[in-house]
Amino acid sequence: MQELENYFNMMFEGKEPATLYAPIAYTLKQSGKRLRPQMVYHVVEMFGGDLSQAKYVAAAFEMLHNFTLIHDDIMDKAPIRRGQPTVYKKWNTNSAILSGDALAIMAFQQLLKLNVDEKTILKISEVFATCTLEICEGQQYDMDFETQEEVSIDEYIRMIYLKTAVMFAGCLKSGAILAGADEESQEALFQVGINLGIAFQLVDDFLDVYADTTVFGKSLGGDIRDNKKTYLYLKAMQDASPEEKPLLKQCYESTEMDFEEKFASVKGFYEKLQIAEKTSQAVHDYMTKSFAELDKVHVGEDQKKKIREVIANLEQRSK
């Protein structure tokens, strides 16, 4: 991954106007987990592909991911990202919008740098473009849910399929295309990513309530404070008794309760309804599906080792 870090560092040297590119460099240097580029590299290596070309696909997906974060932070009015001020807070909203737009375009440019046959570039570009559009669809559904009175668990899963999971899937499938994998393996890896991405978001929802704050790195209950319809809340509403439902809804949607009291009250409902255990089971079920899809990939078990470790680590993550 150091190759990718070096690539990002040199990408913005001397680029003008600095006011456009400085926010992009700032965002990429924060690095985060780099899960998406890792997936690209692991899959290319799995099939014995050209790792020097993997850099461009990995960069494209990581840049796309960071573009979504810049714009999401504006929409969510989030002041902090990865322990640092968000781009619109450090600069301003207009700069953040424009730098995000530029980053999305630069992400597409990475695919044009691939030194492979045109058919491969076209197939990867199709996956990338579809993924980009579906992420926007997922974000719109997420915003719609803020004012939508009733949201089903199926609707929520569909939203995170689009907003989160398709990028994981796109990384895995694009790496397979680049490495010349057969179509059955490409599709299986896409499904690995879908199930992994859904599980990843469910873990995020879980950690917002149940994480160890000394490891998590931020305060708990942000979703409850903001009245976000997470998997935990929707599962609780689904499983609550007719008497409990209006009480939970009233508590969750309250803007007047003291936050500590609100958090404790909602968590009390969750504990009574065993929501932590049910969410953990849902995560496990999606991880199991992910492993089952990986079994369909046409390479030996030794080659699958790194992807298996990624899946296992995401289920156990604590932040």
pLDDT at position 212, please? 80
pLDDT category, 33, cuts 50, 70, 90? confident
Radius of gyration of the chain (CA): 20
- pLDDT tens readout for residues 248-274: 999 999 988 999 999 999 999 999 999
**Residue 298: inside a domain:** no
Residue 139 lies in a domain: no
Strand ranges for the chain from DSSP E? 80-81, 84-85
Of residues 9 and 271, more confidence is placed in 271
Dist CA 152 CA 148 (whole Å): 10
User: What total of structural domains would you count in the chain?
Assistant: 1
Quote the pTM value: 0.94
Q: What CA–CA distance (Å, rounded) separates 113 from 124?
A: 12
pLDDT confidence bin for 314, thresholds 50/70/90: confident
At residue 81, what are phi and psi to the nearest 5 degrees?
-140, 125
CA distance 123 to 219: 42
Tell me which residue of 214, 13, 7, 208 sits closest to 107, measured CA to CA. Answer: 7
What does the block give as tokens for 242? 């007719």
pLDDT band at 218 (very low <50, low <70, confident <90, very high): low
Could you tell me if residue 247 is inside a domain? no
More confident residue, 173 or 212: 173
User: Residue 214 pLDDT > 80, yes or no?
Assistant: no
Here the CATH number for the domain that contains residue 62 is 1.10.600.10
Give the chain's end-to-end CA distance (angstroms, integer). Answer: 21
In a domain, 213, yes or no: no
Domain contains 13: yes
Closest alpha carbon to 167 in 306, 275, 37, 318: 37
At residue 8, the pLDDT reads 92
CB of 201 within 8 A of CB of 165? yes
Residue type at 126? E
Q: Does residue 238 belong to any structural domain of this protein?
A: no
Can you read off the two tokens belonging to residue 288? 């199991």
Residue 284 lies in a domain: no
Q: Say what the pLDDT of residue 318 is.
A: 59
Range of the domain at 110: 1-31+51-115
Residue 319 reports pLDDT greater than 80: no
User: Any idea of the CA torsion for 89, 94, 100, 103, to the nearest 10 degrees?
Assistant: -120
For residues 124 and 88, give the distance between their C-alpha atoms in angstroms, rounded to a whole number: 31
Residue 30 pLDDT: 84
Copy the structure tokens of residue 116. 């492979």
Q: Largest Cα–Cα distance of the chain, in whole Å?
A: 63
Mean pLDDT lowest among 214-223, 270-279, 300-309: 214-223
Does 202 map to a domain? no
User: What's the gap between Cα 91 and its chain centre?
Assistant: 24
How many Cβ atoms from other residues are within 10 Å of residue 163's Cβ? 22
Q: Which one-letter amino acid corresponds to residue 312? A: A
